[in-house]
Amino acid sequence: MASYEDLLVKAYNSIPQKAQSHERFEVPRVESFIQGSKTIVKGFNLLMNNMRREKKHFLKYLTKETASPITEGNNQLIISGKIGAIQLNRLIESYFNQFVLCPECKKPDTKVVTQDGIRMLKCEACGAVKPIAGL
């Protein structure tokens, strides 16, 4: 008969890695489709609410990274160009890692503050402060 510790180790090993994760937040995925020569992204307002960032800053980042003009309206983005969903989600994840996630504790509980004219990412969980790159 196996000991309690052996059974416990076996149980922990059988749990999938995603279920073991202690993260309470995942980078939001967007739904997009290509219509003609434009890409339409749905659920833009929900994405911005989850990230707690200014729409203007995110749109500027996305415009720069895609090299395409972007218009906003009716809870969707219209990108003048064909961009696949995988590439779009990678761009969102990159933005999230640069401008939302705390570099110290890796939590999304951050806000953008200005100190002496420099934009800083301040973590509300651990108190870390880091300058963020301009766009």
For position 135, what pLDDT does the model report?
72
Domain ranges of the chain: 27-100, 103-135
The Cβ-side half-sphere exposure at 50, using a 13 Å CA radius, reads 16
Which whole number is the average pLDDT over 101-124? Answer: 88
- What is residue 19's predicted lDDT score, i.e. its pLDDT? 41
Contacts of 30 (CB under 8 A, 6+ apart): 41, 42, 43, 44, 47, 85, 88, 89, 92
Residue pLDDT, tens place only, 16-29? 665 444 556 677 78
Is 32 within 8 Å of 115 (Cβ atoms)? no
Q: What's the count of helices (H) and strands (E) in the chain, helices before strands?
A: 5, 7
Range from 7-11, 19-23, 41-45 carrying the lowest mean pLDDT: 19-23
Enter the CATH code of domain 27-100.
3.30.70.3150
Q: What confidence tier does 134 reach under pLDDT thresholds 50, 70, 90?
A: confident
Identify the pLDDT of residue 64.
94
Render pLDDT for 46-98 as a digit per residue (tens, 0 to 9): 888 888 888 899 999 999 999 999 999 888 999 999 998 899 999 999 999 89
Rounded to an integer, what distance in angstroms lies between the CA atom of residue 95 and that of residue 64?
12
